Amino acid sequence: MEPLNPIMSRRSLFQAAGLGWLSGMGDLLAIQGERKPARHLILLWLEGAPSQLETFDPHAGAAIAYGSTDIATSAPGIRIGSGLVHTAEIMDQVTLVRSTMSREGDHERAVYNMKTGYRSNPSLVHPAIGSVFCHEFPGSPVEIPTHISILPNKWAARGGFLGGAFDAFQLGDPKNPLPDMRGRVEVTREDRRLAGLSVVEAAFAQGRDGLEKRTLHHGTLQRARRMMTSEQLTAFDVMSEPAAVRAAYGDSPFGRGCLAARRLIEAGVPCVEVTLSGWDTHVNNHELQAGRIALLDPAFAALIKELKERDLLDRTVVFCGGEFGRTPKLNPVEGRDHWPHGFSVALAGGAFRRGHVLGETDPSGESKEPANPVHVQDLHATIQTALGIDPTYEIMTPVGRPLAWSDGRVIGEMLGG
């Protein structure tokens, strides 16, 4: 699919010359050091908003911890929640942003904000970052979908104004076979049916110029046919992995989703999103967060370890986080409420620094202004840069106005280590 903006930018010229990874980078190549921009993106989406105080920003011993403890990690000086035992082993590969700032405290609006980098606007639906990535680097050789969402909820990544072709392909627990991948009749009969369908479609298209471009019917049908017969479908088959590998990720749908993400990235898929729901702990925070952490911990750690062992980590950006954080103070039913004023995300791979922490929150829990704040749009601009996307590039939207991929600033401190 061609970019909506007909004007050829510097990025487009580089791509036409086969040097797309240089596009729009300018002096930021020096920030990244010797690492080239990543070619894959994995989003571990923690739906419902994890508590930073029980995960990546513990304040053990402070009143706001309410008894939560921390542990040392493989990164000197970095301590994380005591439930993240396996994750502690790979923290020397991670950049922690403990000062993420959002202006949205409602789940739906905050998810939109975190996934697109923009606040919700009734006149325009913005594309998710994975959709932007797939749009900017088309022509993937894979025959399976290039943008995949595993275990999605109702707010899976969407293509927005880029169109439905950039929506994420959605699937459930990877232990189950993909549905509708086999024809209901033998191949020869199916071929005859399709031949008959092509005659009907050709007759219908007469006098209706441009109909196919508007509906994408023919292209979608052809891609579906290629996928149904592709050997790359085996990338979804996590149950073919050795038992020890599956056990390392954890015996859970999320663990299998992370394993599938590694397999899909290895097969060449550009973007995979894996969702772990259940973090909205307005009551009984400590117990409910601990249950989610027990699922996240082995899967996140195993994913980073395997990407590194398979020489994929430098070519893959991994994002782990949710839509906002939880309040420093417990409410009367021992829950933590919504807190967009300084929460944590973890980033690994690509050009991101290893074993680094950015930002600091108030250990008293009184201040809503963390040190070194990183706004949601800044995260997007920085991740886009790590993926070789020029965040300042403007595309013409359906409402007739140019829009940059991001209106944030690139945080150079997060890159180049």
Give the angle subtended at the CA of 19 by the CAs of 17 and 20, to the nearest 5°.
105
pLDDT (tens, 9 = 90+) of the chain, 417 residues, equals 333 333 233 344 344 434 443 444 444 554 545 568 999 999 999 999 999 999 999 999 999 999 999 999 999 999 999 999 999 999 999 999 999 999 999 999 999 999 999 999 999 999 999 999 999 998 788 888 999 999 999 899 999 999 999 999 999 999 998 876 566 656 677 667 667 767 776 676 676 666 655 666 656 666 666 665 668 789 999 999 999 999 999 999 999 999 999 999 999 999 999 999 999 999 999 999 999 999 999 999 999 999 999 999 999 999 999 999 999 999 999 999 999 999 999 999 999 999 999 999 999 999 999 999 999 999 999 999 999 999 999 999 999 999 999 999 999 999 985
Could you state, in order of their start, the residue ranges of all structural domains in the chain? 10-179+235-414, 185-229
Helix, strand, coil in percent for the chain, rounding step 5: 40, 15, 45
The pair of three-digit structure tokens given for residue 271, joined into one six-digit string: 């973007």
pLDDT at 46: 98
- The whole-angstrom separation of Cα 238 and Cα 356 is 32
Superfamily designation of domain 10-179+235-414:
Alkaline Phosphatase, subunit A (3.40.720.10)
